[in-house]
Structure 1
Amino acid sequence: MSSIFDLKITVQPEHIDILGHVNNVVYVQWMQDVASAHIETLGLGVLEYLKLKHAMVAVEHHVQYRKAALEGEELILRTWLSDLNALYSFRQYAFYRPQDKSLLFMGNTQWACVEIATGRPKRMSPTFTQAYQPLAADVNPLDFSEYDSLR
């Protein structure tokens, strides 16, 4: 089984838009950043993709913005895998602000396995399916209580 993966960040000035909060497109970049960091810890990052000659590419994102994030705030970017089949993996995201126990953002991405040389769909190799396991059903990915003492 895969696990929840958390990436702690601090909102930087370059993340802020004209309205004074994190720009919407930054959240999508953070989805990519935390997913990339997660796959590296699973032992199946970009270098392994190149060796195996196939990779996972995003084909669909769904996002839900709940609350604004501001410069200087500490955030927890959380991701986990929720489902998997021969061609696709499904990744979930929840971004949390421990300071006020706020869930700021929820999202999910459908990733497709493709052959790097052609860009065509490819069945996931056993290397992929072993690394990209969905989160156990009894784990609550929205439990951020471990961060409550960080306030």
Structure 2
Amino acid sequence: MSAIFDLNLTVKPEHIDVLGHVNNVVYVQWMQDVATAHIDQLGLGIQQYLELKHAMVAVEHHVQYRKAVLLDDQIVLRTWLSDINSMYLFRQYVFYRPADQAVLFMGQTKWACVEIETGRPKRISPTFSQAYQPLNDQINPLDFSHSYMV
């Protein structure tokens, strides 16, 4: 199982704003979508969160819009985990266009563990820290010659 996760996407009319490119808030939705698909693939997704009674929630986003994304563009949403400690998990994102390997968007999210019932912070459980492993430093997530599709 790869530590990098790719999700193919075709840009649809509902993603486009009045300026003719993907709306800024859509990128944040895509961050959520690819992160959710990745944790499901790792076997510790939303259903398991409910059973464990604690979950990872986004507490901070950093985003960088690099190039405009247009209607019908075929893009790849790529994500991986870059760091984990007792309180936080850090996820990286790069969205790119395979046709020209252009980097379109880069982002990072800081996630915290919380108890679902109370919303209170909780130390990251061993269940999470075992499933959510950071990417090995030897792997270059910006090498687009390899696909990490499931």
User: Does the pair score TM above 0.5?
Assistant: yes
Q: Specify the alignment match of 1:123 in structure 2.
A: 123
Residue ranges of structure 2 left out of the alignment (5+ in a row): none
State the shift of 1:2 in Å. 6.0
Aligned equivalent of 1:112: 112
Question: Which residue number in structure 1 is paired with residue 17 of structure 2?
Answer: 17
Deviations along 1:24-68, one digit per CA (max 9) or x if unpaired, are 000000000000000000000010000000000000000000000
Moved more, 137-146 or 15-24: 137-146
The one-letter code matched in structure 1 to 2:116 is I
State the aligned residue count: 147
CA drift of 1:132 comes to: 0.7
Asked whether the 8 Å contact 1:2–1:80 carries over to 2, the reply is no
CA distance in 2 between counterparts of 1:116 and 1:87 reads 15
Residue equivalent to 1:99: 99
Q: How well do the aligned residues superpose, as a CA RMSD in angstroms?
A: 1.1
Q: Secondary structure at 2:146's aligned position in 1?
A: helix
1:58-69 equivalences under 5 Å are: 58-69=58-69
- Report the equivalent of 2:143: 143
- Deviation, 1:86, is 0.9
Distance (Å, rounded) in 1 between the aligned partners of 2:2 and 2:136: 8
Distance in 2 (CA, whole Å) between partners of 1:125 and 1:70 is 41
Runs of 5+ in structure 1 lacking a partner?
Answer: none
Cα distance between partner residues in 2 of 1:117 and 1:87: 18
Match runs of 1:50-61 below 5 Å? 50-61=50-61
1:65-76 aligned within 5 A: 65-76=65-76
8 Å CA contact 1:2–1:133 kept in 2: the answer is no
Cα distance in structure 1, aligned partners of 2:117 and 2:146: 43
Identity %: 73
Q: Which structure carries more helix by proportion? A: 1
Q: Does 1:4 align with 2:30?
A: no
Instruction: List 4+ stretches of structure 1 deviating above 6 A.
Output: none
Deviation at 1:146, TM superposition (A): 3.0
Contact 1:2/1:132, CA 8 A, preserved across alignment? no
Question: Using the alignment, how far apart are the partners of 1:127 and 1:107 within structure 2?
Answer: 26
